Copies of this chain bind each other. A is one copy, B any other.
Amino acid sequence: MQPVMTGDEVMSLLDNVFPQIHEDGRVYQIASISSGEAVVRFTANQRHLRPGGTVSGPSMMALADLAAYVVILGHIGPQALAVTTNLNINFLNKPGPGAMLATCRILKMGKRLIVVDCAIESKGQDGLVAHATATYSVPPK
């Protein structure tokens, strides 16, 4: 499964269709898009933190959802209309305040449904901090 857009191309598309993701500054960066996979880097700022300096659950859900969207766009092209239909997330270990990496892999690339697996790590921490699976629905052409 080969990507059809680069990380820069996907980010340009997001800049146009979802400028809201940058409302807190450019906290998301696309580290790479490769065969069936994408890596998105997230740098939490004050509003994503919780007491004790941990990143909030909703920030990780938003990250998983965005990284899933990135790997999908990277492989189907600029189809901004793909929508999340299901997201399941397990919170595994309390993350520190540092940068996070979400690695998303396509598990199924169907004509109507795309299923993605998303592993989230926190820089300098062993093991995963969260793991999600997400399903996106793609409109018929």
B-binding residues in A (CB < 8 A): 17-18, 20, 23, 46-51, 56-58, 61-62, 65-66, 80, 83-94, 107-108, 112-113, 115, 117, 127-128, 131, 133, 135, 137, 140
Contact = CB atoms under 8 A, between A and B. Distances in A.
Contact of A92 (B56, B107, B128): B107
A135 B86 contact: yes
Contacts of A17: 51
Contact of A107 (B49, B113, B128): B128
A62 B65 CA distance: 12
Contacts of A20: 46-50, 56
A52 to B, nearest CB: 10
Contacts of A83: 57, 91, 94
Contacts of A86: 86, 88-91, 135
Interface pairs A-B: 9 shortest CB-CB = A58-B62, A92-B108, A88-B88, A61-B61, A57-B84, A23-B47, A90-B115, A107-B131, A86-B90
Given A20-B49, A107-B128, 4 more contacts: A20-B46, A20-B50, A92-B115, A108-B127
Nearest to A20: B47
9 contacts: A20-B48, A20-B49, A86-B135, A90-B107, A90-B115, A92-B115, A93-B108, A117-B117, A135-B135
